Structure 1
Amino acid sequence: MVKAVVLGAAGGIGQPLALLLKTNPLITELGLFDIVNTPGVAADLSHIATPAKVEGYLPPDDGLAKTLKGADIVVIPAGVPRKPGMTRDDLFKINAGIVRDLATGIATTAPKAFVLVISNPVNSTVPIVAEVFKQHGTFDPKRLFGVTTLDVVRASTFVSEVINDLSKAPEIVVPVVGGHSGVTIVPILSQSSHPVLSLLDGDKLKALTDRIQFGGDEVVKAKDGTGSATLSMAYAGAEFATKVIKALAGEKGLIAPSYVHLDADKEGGAALKKEIGKDLDYFSTNIEIGPNGVERIIPLGKLTDYEKQLIAAAVPELETNIAKGATFQKAPPAKV
């Protein structure tokens, strides 16, 4: 019996994400919340012949609390999409308050749920959620995840294009570490399951790295002002949520990338901090997921000199992003 909740379920990511979760046979309840249209989305999904019972709520009459009651896993794609010319950091001023309010609802209604944050900028919104939970005395770093799976999905796809075999895309695995925006996204192409470095000279390697780091810009530009990556993000979010749900069900050895608090595994987190040369609180890397959440933070392993340079460039940006999220919740700006 697993209850999954999507906060922001009527949006561009929320609807396809809710659809994918509805088709997951391990989910028996699906709770949907948004500020508009959620009952309609729930009614539509409820006609699909899968086990999950679907309910959708709006803010009135404690809708958020009703949605969250009994939740095992909560996925948060809520927020405004990125538009041309906007960075993920530009979204912070709007999305920070949205995430804070939703996190408050989770901390008070479903504090033991696994929380999967999709809302951008992930590098900053995950620290906001953590600070909210700390203020309520319910923070467990093992149960908080920033969803960075899309970076790995993109890397797999783009590498399959380089080797000219899209049929290999589903089985290609490229570790992507750091964070979830621009230069904080660091693809470890030297550890690709399908060797690709031999096909890339310096310029081609940089071009592929840049494409993985800024792949979201391709979508924003192609949508010409109408939105950002929603369908691919929903797919990636569902992929990660499925691994968390499988771990809840007792499956072992589940490895996935995630942006996590490094106290989730103190030994592994300390080793990772030594690798990156900085005492950061959060970092995205491969983790092992178990029934209690983060079981193990996996070291980066051997890196090329180029990859070490990418890590070095990512760290200061991550440090700024993390501080912005933590500071916002500790001393949120006055409402205007």
Structure 2
Amino acid sequence: MFSISFAPKLLKNCTLLLNITKNYCFHCPPEQKPPVVTVLNASSKIGKFVALLLKQNPLVGELRLFDKSGAVCSVAEDLSHIDTRTRVRSFGGSAVLKHAVSEADIVVSVGGCKESSRESYKKSFEKNFDDVRSAALHMIEFNPKGIFCIAKPPIEALVPMVSEEYKKAGVYDSRKIIGITSVGCMRTNYHIANVTGQSPADVLCPIVGGLSSNCLVAVLSQARPKGTSPQKIPTLQKIIGESEDDVLKLYADCQSVCLTPALAVARFVNILLKALQGDTNCVDCAFVAQTGHIGQFLPYMTSIVRLGRYGVMSSHMPKVSGDEAHRLKTAAIIIKNLIKMGESLVTGDISAEENIPERLSVTKLQQAAQASASSSESMVKSI
């Protein structure tokens, strides 16, 4: 039993402990707000699939679905019945786009997929640039620090277009503008596994160049695990580059390919969410702005990117073989023209559009690249 004389001392110690606890709590870092992800064109077929996958992602705190059509409200209500923690909100109509993107951590523009294997780059661009540009302008005004991911074709033109809009507004940050190319990696891994007899889940192969037809170059020399026969590489590159068109032909050119792209977008967003929460091992391939000598070759290109709290922390060009370097030079002819097409819409350089081909065959591209083919080896060394 305590003596009466000990009581004041005990009270003093308790008061000191309380003050220490209060001071500690005041200096505790605030609890991190669950990430907000906005899906644009959520009423499109691919938009619905992306939304369905993200609704099941425990890292997503709030999922916002935007579409010009009011039908997005029914999509959101349907998804809300899935018993996961992610909150779903709908935004229907152009007037509420600013509310859909405001304070969102990640904004993803989907939809506008190719509907025919004969659809040209220019037609895809004309179909999609208005939606993407409108979203970019709203991001600039209401959420310039948010990460804007573009998964509409052709990303080789849309990413430069968005970048020019950001530069024009004086808020450009190359880390925040990303073209999602994960579907190219998925298809590459599958086709390698199909040829080598391995499981697609065990194959990892980087891609460079772009994502559109004749723009993607699989870096088979860096694929893991090894096992691709050198004799099969030319055929494999052709299959990988034309895989989307091949599926479109199976759909009889009357539907868009949306299942694999939807999962690819959801996977990339998941990696990005992990990066935002501090995970330092978040790596994928994406179409982003390039710097240094790679930027001199192509100002925008698909490369290996490391993601962080602010978006793209760094980009890396994998070492390529002589054949891959030659293929990349061939693809660069298209990519440079697509970059000009996107930039010219903002800069007003109409003359740049005159060089945009409706569609180029692989044979014509190879002929156009013959003049620079001899320098492929020097390019490999510089990369």
TM-score where L is the length of structure 1:
0.90
Query: Could you tell me whether the CA contact under 8 Å between 1:3 and 1:29 is conserved in 2?
Result: yes
CA distance in 1, matches of 2:249, 2:317: 35
Query: Could you tell me whether the CA contact under 8 Å between 1:126 and 1:146 is conserved in 2?
Result: yes
CA shift, 1:200, in A, is 4.2
Match in the other structure for 1:112? 145
Unaligned runs of 5+ in 1: 263-268
Q: CA RMSD in A?
A: 1.6
Matched residue type, 1:307: E
Alpha-carbon deviations, 1:113-138, whole Å to 9, x = none? Answer: 11110011110011111122222222
Match in the other structure for 1:42? 76
Match in the other structure for 1:187? 218
Query: Which among 249, 268, 278 is matched to residue 277 of structure 2?
Result: 249
Query: Could you tell me whether the CA contact under 8 Å between 1:84 and 1:224 is conserved in 2?
Result: no
Match in the other structure for 2:158? 125
Check if 1:300 corresponds to 2:318: yes
Q: Secondary structure at the match of 1:227?
A: coil
Match in the other structure for 1:174? 205
Query: Could you tell me whether the CA contact under 8 Å between 2:43 and 2:72 is conserved in 1?
Result: yes
Gap change, CA 1:332 and 1:239, over 3 Å in 2: farther
Query: Which among 95, 106, 120 is matched to residue 87 of structure 1?
Result: 120
CA distance in 2, matches of 1:90, 1:206: 29
User: How many residues in Structure 1 have an aligned counterpart in Structure 2?
Assistant: 316
Match in the other structure for 1:51? 85
CA shift, 1:54, in A, is 0.6
Query: Could you tell me whether the CA contact under 8 Å between 2:38 and 2:107 is conserved in 1?
Result: yes
CA distance in 2, matches of 1:176, 1:170: 17
Matched residue type, 2:233: L
After superposition, where does 1:13-52 map in structure 2 within 5 Å? 13-36=46-69, 37-52=71-86
After superposition, where does 1:250-265 map in structure 2 within 5 Å? 250-262=278-290
Gap change, CA 1:285 and 1:80, over 3 Å in 2: closer
Match in the other structure for 1:329? 346
Query: Which among 247, 254, 259 is matched to residue 231 of structure 1?
Result: 259
CA distance in 2, matches of 1:234, 1:213: 19
Query: Could you tell me whether the CA contact under 8 Å between 1:186 and 1:213 is conserved in 2?
Result: yes
CA shift, 1:190, in A, is 0.9
Query: Could you tell me whether the CA contact under 8 Å between 1:82 and 1:91 is conserved in 2?
Result: no
CA distance in 2, matches of 1:155, 1:312: 19
Check if 1:213 corresponds to 2:235: no
CA shift, 1:299, in A, is 2.7
Unaligned runs of 5+ in 2: 1-33, 351-383
Query: Could you tell me whether the CA contact under 8 Å between 1:124 and 1:321 is conserved in 2?
Result: yes
CA distance in 2, matches of 1:329, 1:100: 10
Q: Give percent identity, aligned residues only.
A: 28
Matched residue type, 1:287: V
Match in the other structure for 2:329? 312
CA distance in 2, matches of 1:261, 1:10: 30
TM-score where L is the length of structure 2:
0.79
